[in-house]
Amino acid sequence: MADHREGNLEAPTRHPIDWRNPEFYDESALNQEMARVFEICHGCRRCVSLCQSFPTLFDLVDASPTLEVDGVDKADYAKVVEHCYLCDLCYMTKCPYVPPHAWNLDFPHLMLRAKAVRHRQGKSKLRDRILTSTDAVGRFCGIPIVAPAINAVNQVRPMRTLLQHAAGIHRDAWLPAFTSNPMRRRLPHLPADTPASPAGSTTGKVALFATCYMNRNEPGPGEDLLAVFAHNGIAVTLTEKERCCGMPKLELGDFDTVRANKEVNIPILAKLVDAGWDLTALVPSCVLMFKQELPLLFPDDPDVQKVKNAFYDPFEYLMLRHREGMLNTDFRQPLGKVVLHAACHQRVQNIGPKTRECLSLIPGTQVESVERCSGHDGTYAVKAEYHAFAAKIAKPVVNAVTQAAPDHFGSDCAMAGHHIAHVHGGVDAEHPITLLRQAYGI
């Protein structure tokens, strides 16, 4: 720690993840690096208002006999790791010691390394392995006779109590419904030579990566995206097939499954890019997986880089078209006051508040953005041991919604939006692309 600068003047940068190196899984080396990083965090404490990892760490330090990190039992490091769900906000918005600072602190990816070591040691819970197997869960729960039964059971309090005891799924957590009519049956597959109108860096035709959640749980925003993009002269097709993007398994530390999914998805997506299609998805975590995490895991794979450069957030895409005068601004219906939760995995894409900018173009619409984590993370908020923490993390957003008393509330991360609305108890969450379609009156 020879460099004692307070922080960076340069933009944060990320190093590739050296997960194929056997030393990556050396538990002794891992503990040594965590001790180094925890010491820096203990001396700073700027992240205490984010996830539960930091209060847990600081409580461990404050309760130790030395009142320093060296007094914390290394076995307790796992208590810090289990609360990190890789939102990346500490890295992107708080930490002054991220690369290129000499201290080279990347807290989320250190926690990811710890999760990978734990997974390789066979310590991942069966519940967590099932919850992150989104393709398999979606296929089973999407069976026509199964979907309505599961949806009904999820609304029955005694059954939810039983589920909590049997599977560790908190009885009060919001759980998504399943559909037997998924997005992949609802949207078209267009030919490769579909005509398009390029504008700036965009080709004017987009292949939608359906995502596990939007495909099996909430396909409506996919239909809304198709309508909005068509209204703006943008052709939309679905990918030929897809596996889960890999984010749930990444958060479990299961790099082998991430690689297996990547080897299915990337050739399909790269072929679409070669045919002139841009790429998008309606779940920010999936977009981030292709734009950041896979490129860091596979930095030498040219197709991964090709897909990265062609992947856009939906509202990023629309605003790029707007810059070139290619966004239809003939809005028919005002939205009034909108509170928009800024999803963590959208914020860390470094694209700016494109959803807020787009919705603000609608006459008679006031958009208030809340830049706080929801605490949902796809699985963290549903687990019995973490649900209370997830609800606490969501509270600042809930309070902002209550104070604003908006006409509409939503988040680009549909799951985060529903979790916030569930904790609030008095609002419904609407996806911003649904609100945009409503404003167009189409």
As given in the structure block, the two tokens for residue 147 are: 């979907």
Whether 270 and 307 have beta carbons less than 8 Å apart is answered as: yes
Specify the residue for token string 């706080």: 372
Domain-wise residue ranges, the chain: 22-120, 327-440
What is the per-residue pLDDT across 151-190, written as a single tens digit (0 to 9) for each?
A: 898 888 898 898 898 888 899 999 889 998 998 988 988 8
Tokens of 380: 């963290």
- The closest alpha carbon to 275, from 187, 189, 184, 186, belongs to 189
Structure confidence by residue, pLDDT tens digits, 397-411: 999 999 999 999 999
At residue 4 the predicted structure's pLDDT band, cuts being 50, 70 and 90, is low
Please report the pLDDT score of residue 141 as a whole number. 82
pLDDT digits (tens, 9 = 90+) for 359-380: 999 999 999 999 999 988 888 8
Residue identified by tokens 């993009």 is: 229
Name the residue with tokens 């890789």: 86
Angstrom distance (rounded) from CA 148 to CA 418: 20
Hey, is 205 helix, strand or coil?
strand
Whether residue 99 has pLDDT greater than 60:
yes
179 in Cβ contact with 147 (< 8 Å)? yes
CA–CA separation, 383 vs 124, rounded Å? 14
Mind listing the pLDDT tens digit for each residue in 14-63? 899 999 999 999 999 999 999 999 999 988 888 888 888 999 999 999 99
Q: What are phi and psi of 317, to 5 degrees?
A: -65, -45
H helix intervals, 275-359: 284-288, 294-297, 302-310, 314-323, 344-347, 354-359
Question: Domain 327-440 has what CATH class?
Answer: alpha beta
Beta-bridged to residue 429, according to DSSP, are 409
